[in-house]
Structure 1
Amino acid sequence: MKILTLVALLPTMLGGCAAASSLPAVLPHALPTNANLGLQRSSGANVIGTYTARAVTDPKPWREVNDLQGPNAGGNS
């Protein structure tokens, strides 16, 4: 039982010792204190872009509707 307790506590103790040391900066150019970085674009993209509102219509055969809205609108595809 004592060995089991030791095995369970050993990783916790080692983890605590490892957390005390500081890690080096992997990407020093990405630090917020770097004045040479400049400003980044912070505005979001337009998520609805070219949205076109369509009115609700009666049910039609789906092939006809698909042909009317496809790239060859109204033509044989």
Structure 2
Amino acid sequence: MMKQLAYKIGKLSEQEQWEFDCCDSLSRDIEERILLGFVWMKLPYFDEKPYRIFNTMKEYKEWLNKEIPRYLGYNQIDD
């Protein structure tokens, strides 16, 4: 897969790090970019059942607010 190893010694400026990361990502073929572009996470709240059915959007939002941890970002913000 990854054909070359590139590294820099010392601390890079933010601009240098950005350029280095861009060059590094452009050196990969499309399959590597796709493979590295996805982060697979097991979400026990969503993955515990194959599907859920809600009669209304309100029911769905209530379920999200009640069951899903806030850090996942699916909760509704109360005004």
What TM-score does the superposition give when structure 2 sets the normalisation length? 0.26
Give the structure with the higher percent helix. Answer: 2
Greater C-alpha radius of gyration = 1
